[in-house]
Amino acid sequence: MSMQSHLAELERRHLSLQREIEKEELHPSVDELKLHEMKRKKLLLKDEIAKLRQSARETVH
């Protein structure tokens, strides 16, 4: 898998998690534990995306 396709997949998963979080927050009985776990996973994806982008910039220069 190329770096670009890997980055695109991570961004897709990040967006998907964001939508799940928003959907979960609309429920009257929010599962706080589930919500916290989804937010943690989303943050980990965000960090991985940032690292990949930084790596790509360093490779270009």
pLDDT digits (tens, 9 = 90+) for 12-38: 999 999 999 999 999 889 899 999 999
Measure CA 21 to chain center.
Answer: 11
More confident residue, 41 or 4: 41
- Confidence check: pLDDT of 46 > 70: yes
Residue range 1-7: mean pLDDT, rounded: 88
Instruction: In the chain, count H helices and then E strands.
Output: 2, 0
Q: Supply the mean pLDDT for the chain.
A: 93
Place of tokens 């964001």: 18
Residue range 34-60: mean pLDDT, rounded: 93
The number of distinct structural domains making up the chain is 1
Rounded CA Rg of the chain: 14
Q: How far apart (Å, rounded) are the C-alpha atoms in residues 26 and 54?
A: 35
Indicate the pTM of the whole model.
Answer: 0.85
Residues spanned by the domain of 24: 3-60
